Structure 1
Amino acid sequence: MTISTSLRETILTQLQAGHWKAGDRLPTERELSEGYGVSRTTVRKALADLKQQGLIEQTVGSGTFVAQQAPSSLDRLIQQDSAQHTSPAELMEARLALEPAIIDLVVRNATTADFARMLACCTSAERASSLEEFEHWDGELHEAIADAAHNTFVSSVFKLMKQVRAQGDWGQLKKKSVTPERRLAYQQEHRQLVDALRDRDAARAKTSTLDHLLHVRHNLLGH
């Protein structure tokens, strides 16, 4: 971790703790430099990064202030950092715990439009000409299933899991593990899951979800 990154993290911690709130003026570059024992150049780099993230605003002659949109920007940044530091093994643990658990909600709340979206994702995945395109529609399908629960909290959690799937480690493992035969199996498992959901058969849908996830985990992680 560079010195400027360390300072950035320190300021982020202060923002998260509510030490500085939207509209508050931050210490000057000189005060930050002396207070944290770093150079003015280091301070400028850290502030530039925070400004780019929408957390602070700088006005010549007035100083540096916490941006009004800082709370929402901070939430987004925390989600991104969480996604970047979640390993494929941790993601699979979460998926095995959460995806079967939301099936009852999906079976109860899904609409005709939700099922049409799921089927469209399956079709697009089957037509995908590359692994990257297939993986995109794979993720879209699981997000469509989560959204069909019609629960805001569930949707937000699954959007975070989708961000983790977009990280390099997951992509590299998927690229190494997915053979044409395995991709075909995944496509068939997706169809079976969506069919069970459309029949509003919770027991069959839970079994399909768990079997699919265990299959993915075995191919990715070897257990």
Structure 2
Amino acid sequence: MNSTYLFRVTLLEQLHSGQWQAGDRLPTEREFGEQYQISRSTVRKVLAEMKAQGWIAQTVGSGTYVTDKALVAVPHNKASTGSSPNAGWHTSPAELMEARMALEPAIIEMVIGNATTADFEQMAHCCTRAEAATSVEEFEDWDGMFHEVIARAAHNGFVARLFKLMNQARAQGEWGMLKKRSLTPERRLAYQSEHRALLQAITARDPVQAKALAVEHLVHVRRNLLNY
């Protein structure tokens, strides 16, 4: 892993994990450069990507600050559920699965048309973290984040909010219990393989293959969770 990639994925994880709060000031370009042994121009380029996503804001003469939007990608076990405007809202696993079947393949062309290199790297990072997960809960967090990151790569605010809502629904107890009961080691390996194949098709900007793989994966998940 080269230093630039390490800086990018580490910064993304720090922004989205809640390590910094909205309004916190980030280290300077010089400090980042020294920490990761990369040039200030490289730091500037990565920060520009984060700014374009809306996760940081920069003020001339003042510095770089974390925005509220940076917390969009907090995995559900790290989020503050008590302050969520959707606290108390509930949907069944069957309803959630039906929505996923309809919506996730439908946004593939938008994702392929708008995704950036940084988006592809975030998807790959989610795959890597899911594969390294040591518990069902951690795997489910990164599994859900993979799908949410794909949706964010459409660069459409409405789509991003919709998929964040679906990811919050996955944090509900009924879905979690079904996933925990159904997730055998063999099925987990299959999901990981399906995620990697979907990532490869999206990265290759192949909408036909990506849509087919998205549908295949969701049908597999539905069969394992809901038995149909």
TM range (shorter): 0.5 to 0.7
Aligned residues: 146
Residues 129-162 of structure 1 show CA distances to partners (whole Å, capped at 9, x for unaligned) of 1111100100110010000000000000001001
1:207: Cα distance to partner? 0.3
Name the structure 2 match of 1:176.
Answer: 181
Letter in 2 for 1:136: D
Task: Tell me what 1:203 maps to.
Answer: 208
- Whether 2:88 is the aligned partner of 1:81: answer yes
Return the match for 2:195 from 185, 190, 199. 190
Deviation at 1:181, TM superposition (A): 0.1
For the aligned residue pairs, the C-alpha RMSD in angstroms reads: 1.2
Unmatched 5+ stretches in structure 1: 1-75
Letter in 1 for 2:145: E
Runs of 4+ in structure 1 deviating by more than 6 angstroms, as ranges, are: none
Could you tell me which amino acid in structure 1 is paired with residue 109 of structure 2? D
Q: How does 1:32-43 map to 2 (within 5 A)?
A: none
Q: Distance in 1 between matches of 2:113 and 2:177?
A: 36
Q: 1:80 offset after TM fit, Å?
A: 3.0
Q: Counterpart of 2:87 in 1: which secondary structure?
A: helix
Cα drift, residue 167 of structure 1:
0.6
Unaligned 5+ segments in structure 2 are: 1-83
In the TM superposition, what is the alpha-carbon distance from 1:81 to its structure 2 partner? 3.4
For 1:80, give the aligned amino acid: A
Q: Which of residues 93, 100, 121 in structure 2 aligns to 1:95?
A: 100
Are 2:139 and 1:127 aligned? no
Letter in structure 2 aligned against 1:113: A
Structure-2-length-normalised TM-score: 0.63
TM-score by length of 1: 0.64
Give me the whole-angstrom Cα distance separating, in 1, the residues matched to 2:152 and 2:111: 8
CA contact 1:80–1:163 (8 Å) conserved in 2: no
Cα distance in 1 between the residues matched to 2:113 and 2:106: 13
Distance 1:159 1:119 in 2: 19
CA distance in 1, matches of 2:180, 2:105: 25
Match 1:217 to one of 211, 214, 222: 222
SS at match of 1:95: helix
